[in-house]
Amino acid sequence: MEIDSPTRKIIHVDMDCFYAAIEMRERPELVGKPIAVGGASGRGVLTTCNYEARKFGCRSAMPGFKARALCPDLILLPVRFDLYRYESSRIRKIFDDFTDLVEPLSLDEAYLDVSHLDSEPSSIAWEIRERIRNEIELTASAGIASNKFIAKIASDWEKPDGQFEVKDEDMLDFLADLPVEKIWGVGKRTAEKLHASGLKTCGMIRERTELELVRRFGKFGSALYQLCRGVDERKVNPNRERKSVSNERTFRENLTSVEEGEPKLDELVDELIEDLSGRHKERAIRECVVKLKFEDFQVTSAQRGLDHVDAGVFRELLAEAWARGEGRSVRLIGAGVRFHSERKGEVEQLEMF
């Protein structure tokens, strides 16, 4: 099997520099100027920046002082999560008008499964983007494919404010010359290992057997073998009632230090508090958990018994989990709480962790 089922129609919608775009919409005088959100303190990092700032080399997760050195005229704005969450909820309502199968990855991106609709997925993606433009006054990019992996890569192909579809019959050709750095989950160190093995593109990886890849890269070798052939069996999983509440974020560029991870975790904890203040406010918390996924896809989690959310405790758990990486960079951070079971004798577990 070289590709996923052609009956699946997956759209990955990714907002364009979401936080910065909202700030420019709210303050039109900022349009055309290099701006970034976050990073105001000495140890702070950028949450996002607009395309004018990116021209100077600024990027998300970059320390604020370094961004200022690259772009002296950079305008640094404070993070306004309440506003960003509100706009994200408006965008989610647009998604829900098209399908119940929506899997948010963060405030600014989500997978949509529109396989049940008769329209062409490219037309659906275009309509979604037009509604976001007209109703939210922001732009979004989209990737369309028959699986999540390819759709996510494709959404970055025509940024900003564009869309790109990879049809099944074109998938292997699309992947053949794709640099290994574009494979989701391949960070700097993994890319260096791949290059050292003479593997610079997905096409080159396809020349190796799965056994060879596993021997060289461990479990991640199996993932490489499948992904470079366009195989991704994961389904789009919509939100559902859980015995826990958690959120997580996978980063476009791996984080290399716990100091880089702390502000990312703080964002997740803020979102977690917001989630808990809604429909889950009556649930009794029994444990706080931090999850990390390292560059080689190895996962670890640290937890502590606690009946409330404490940002300081979450940072301590982050440091505990990070120390297990032994120098490996981190591609994903998650934060969550486990509830006491409301059913006597029921096994308590954190579904996302």
The residues annotated as belonging to the active site are 109
Measured between alpha carbons, how far is 176 from 183 in angstroms, rounded to an integer? 12
Q: Quote the CA–CA distance of 148 and 101 in Å, as a whole number.
A: 13
The upper half-sphere exposure of residue 123, i.e. CA atoms within 13 Å in the direction of its Cβ, equals 5
- Beta carbons of 60 and 49 less than 8 angstroms apart: yes
For residue 80, how many other CB atoms are within 10 A of its CB?
Answer: 14
Residues in Cβ contact with 240 at an 8 Å cutoff, skipping those fewer than 6 apart: none
Give CA separation, 223 vs 87, 112, 200, 217, in Å.
35, 23, 16, 10
Measured CA distances, 45 to 37, 195, 315 (Å): 9, 29, 16
The answer to whether 222 and 6 have CB atoms below 8 angstroms apart is: no
Q: Give the pair of three-digit tokens for residue 239.
A: 């939100």
How far apart CA 197 and CA 277 sit, in angstroms, is: 50
Please report which residue ranges of the chain form alpha helices under DSSP H.
18-26, 51-54, 64-70, 81-96, 121-131, 148-154, 171-176, 188-196, 202-205, 210-217, 219-227, 258-276, 311-322
Whether 350 contacts 289, CB under 8 Å: yes
- Is the Cβ–Cβ distance between 46 and 61 less than 8 Å? yes
Contact yes or no for 256/38 (Cβ under 8 A)? no
